[in-house]
């Protein structure tokens, strides 16, 4: 949607990489879509709706072969796996604070120095100027300050720093490995539920289990399982075109984090059986 708004404002064509049946990007189609006219590739590192881990390093290399830049949304990746923006060769990489156990309203944007220096400020305010003159105009501070207009979210930034320290103390690889165990355990457990369909079965996944149940609406499942003390997400997950590809308008999504346990997965499965019995 943001790209559609920008396209309407400045004029460009959006081309979409199709998705395979298992939720992985069709890399053959991606290669075909790239051309010398391609300016920017925007892709999420991990799908929030399916958990699919996209091959962003390969995608970056292919984009650069055609002279295009790549912007990676890493909100779902940063708390679950080691992210090396230099190894990926990302031009831009962004993630949000609340996805790494930090506060809302704050996030991180990484960009290559030369690109950031060439970009104009996106907003005006205090601390982002070098000089101001009615006659000579305004010159801007060096990066990153020229992108930090006005009073920053001081408390949120400090809290985000502490959250990242905690993630590093536990170990991102350890977190990702544990979440993978939880996902495998839950995936096997729901496999025997009649009429339950898992969306997103690509071989490389983060700790996301997205599913629908035949004869039951996802919102009903979410509301009822909440009454049993289980929190899942239901809806379109800001990914309506993706869900339309799978022929559904909403899914249930169980997301696993560093603090979840196998016993909690058992509680989720038990509650899910009870809820499905209620709605069918």
Catalytic residues: 238
Q: Which long-range contacts (CB under 8 A, 24 or more apart) does 55-63 make?
A: 55/25, 55/27, 56/88, 56/90, 57/87, 57/88, 57/89, 58/27, 59/25, 59/27, 59/30, 60/88, 60/89, 60/90, 60/91, 61/89, 62/30, 62/31, 62/34, 63/34, 63/38
Count of CB atoms situated within 10 Å of the CB of 188 = 10
Strands 233-235 and 208-213: unpaired
- Residue 110, judged by CB atoms within 10 A of its CB (0-12, 13-18, 19+), counts as middle
Q: Residue 272: which H helix or E strand, with range? A: helix 262-279
Give the CA-trace dihedral at 27, 29, 33, 36, to 10 degrees. Answer: 50
């Amino acid at each position: 949607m943001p790209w559609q708004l920008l396209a309407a404002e400045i004029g460009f064509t959006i081309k979409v990489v199709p998705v395979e049946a298992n939720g992985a990007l069709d890399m053959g189609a991606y290669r075909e879509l790239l051309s010398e006219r391609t300016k920017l590739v925007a892709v999420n590192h991990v799908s929030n709706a399916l958990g699919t881990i996209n091959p962003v390093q390969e995608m970056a290399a292919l984009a650069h072969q055609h002279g295009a830049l790549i912007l990676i949304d890493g909100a779902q990746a940063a708390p679950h796996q080691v992210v090396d923006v230099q190894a990926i060769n990302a031009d831009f990489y962004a993630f949000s604070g609340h996805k790494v156990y930090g506060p809302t309203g704050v996030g991180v944007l990484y960009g290559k120095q030369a690109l950031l220096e060439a970009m104009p400020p996106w907003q005006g305010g205090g601390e982002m100027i070098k000089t101001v003159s009615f006659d000579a105009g305004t010159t801007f501070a060096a990066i990153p300050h020229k992108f930090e207009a006005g009073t920053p979210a001081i408390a949120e930034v400090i809290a985000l720093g502490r959250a990242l320290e905690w993630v590093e103390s536990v170990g991102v690889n350890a977190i990702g490995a544990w979440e993978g165990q939880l996902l495998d355990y839950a995936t096997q457990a729901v496999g025997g539920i009649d009429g339950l369909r898992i969306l997103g079965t690509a071989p490389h996944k983060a700790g996301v289990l997205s599913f629908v149940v035949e004869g039951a609406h996802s919102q009903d499942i979410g509301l009822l399982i909440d009454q049993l003390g289980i929190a899942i997400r239901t809806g379109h997950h800001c990914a309506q075109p993706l869900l339309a590809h799978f022929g559904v308008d909403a899914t249930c999504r169980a997301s696993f984090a560093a603090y979840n346990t196998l016993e909690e997965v058992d509680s989720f499965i038990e509650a899910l059986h009870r809820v499905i019995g209620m709605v069918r």
